């Protein structure tokens, strides 16, 4: 992540900037102000970072020189980190900001360029360049996928587990569902995935690291529950694994020597 040459991309609800590499970001102090928080910024941002966000991946620090000779530290946050932070606050402001950032990403992904960006030709040019690069990468990935299909290395006929995983595109799995196939508890599976930097704890719930987000591995569903400490009905976002996410977990675990019990039993029988 770079913090140089930030250009205003959108100003609705909260300012969103675009970096010189085309990445959309939010400034930590502006997010803190928009959330209407009373805690000191430095204390608050350190608490947020402690949830497991990585320096130079999810955020970068910047220092600004003040007129009186002092210095002030700010942070450039990725949109994923900003969304997670907004959700953690559980306030109307936080939900409004989170929804704004989600809508902004949808508009960009669907090719609906935001009006503010039209006033910034340099930002539009960078967006188009990034889009062109992504298209080139997608073409390369398509060619690689065709080659993999020919070799049939990933989905071999005898890989019964993988065949079953990819039969449907609509079923969602909890961590408990997947853990049972390995003879584990959900807690053990989540611990291993956390150590592999696949998921991280945000508040009370698990979320994908930003580098894995947006690949169709998970879906988040909001559920209401009664908080016996506050006496109020609260909302929380829970992670569910898709078929592709289940296959991804299988691949990551197999690389470190873990396979489902059904596959391990078949190998023993075959000698």
Do 189 and 182 meet the contact criterion of CB atoms below 8 Å apart?
A: yes
CA 114 from centroid of its chain's CA atoms: 22
Q: Half-sphere exposure of 68 toward its Cβ, with a 13 Å CA cutoff?
A: 2
The DSSP output letter for 198 is S
Alpha-carbon distances, residue 193 vs 52, 181, 207, 217, 245 (angstroms): 14, 15, 11, 13, 12
- The tens digit of pLDDT for each residue in 179-220 reads 999 999 999 999 999 999 999 998 888 999 988 878 889 998
**Bigger pLDDT: 25 or 7?**
25
CA 165 from centroid of its chain's CA atoms: 22
| Whole-angstrom distance, CA of residue 20 vs CA of residue 126 | 7
Q: CA Rg, the chain, in Å?
A: 22
Name the token pair of 260: 């489902």
Do 233 and 101 meet the contact criterion of CB atoms below 8 Å apart?
A: no
pTM reported for the whole predicted model: 0.39
pLDDT at residue 167 is higher than 60: no
Do 85 and 75 meet the contact criterion of CB atoms below 8 Å apart?
A: no
Which regions of 79-114 does DSSP assign to beta strands (E)?
Answer: none
Please state which of the ranges 24-33, 60-69, 74-83 shows the lowest mean pLDDT.
60-69
- The tens digit of pLDDT for each residue in 102-114 reads 877 766 655 544 4
- The tens digit of pLDDT for each residue in 20-55 reads 888 889 999 999 998 888 889 999 999 999 988 899
């Amino acid at each position: 992540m770079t913090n140089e040459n930030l250009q205003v991309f959108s100003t609705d609800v909260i300012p969103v900037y675009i970096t010189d590499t085309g990445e959309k970001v939010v400034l930590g102090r502006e997010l803190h102000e928009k959330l209407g928080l009373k805690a000191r910024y430095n204390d608050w941002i350190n608490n947020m970072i402690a949830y497991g966000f990585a320096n130079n991946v999810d955020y970068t620090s910047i220092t600004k020189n003040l007129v009186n000779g002092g210095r002030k530290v700010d942070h450039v946050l990725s949109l994923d980190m900003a969304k997670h932070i907004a959700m953690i606050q559980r306030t109307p402001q936080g939900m409004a900001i989170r929804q704004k950032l989600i809508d902004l990403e949808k508009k960009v992904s669907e090719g609906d360029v935001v009006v503010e960006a039209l006033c910034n030709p340099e930002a539009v040019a960078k967006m188009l360049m990034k889009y062109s690069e992504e298209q080139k990468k997608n073409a390369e990935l398509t060619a690689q996928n065709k080659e993999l299909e020919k070799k049939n290395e990933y989905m071999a006929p005898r890989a019964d587990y993988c065949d079953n995983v990819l039969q449907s595109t609509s079923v969602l799995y909890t961590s408990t569902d997947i853990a049972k196939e390995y003879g584990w508890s959900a807690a053990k599976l989540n611990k291993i995935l956390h150590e592999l930097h696949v998921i991280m704890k945000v508040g009370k719930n698990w979320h994908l690291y930003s580098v894995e987000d947006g690949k169709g591995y998970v879906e988040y569903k909001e559920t209401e529950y009664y908080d016996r400490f506050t006496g109020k009905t609260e909302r929380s976002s829970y992670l569910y694994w898709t078929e592709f996410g289940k296959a991804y977990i299988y691949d990551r675990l197999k690389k470190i020597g873990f396979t489902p019990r059904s596959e391990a039993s078949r190998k023993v029988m075959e000698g």
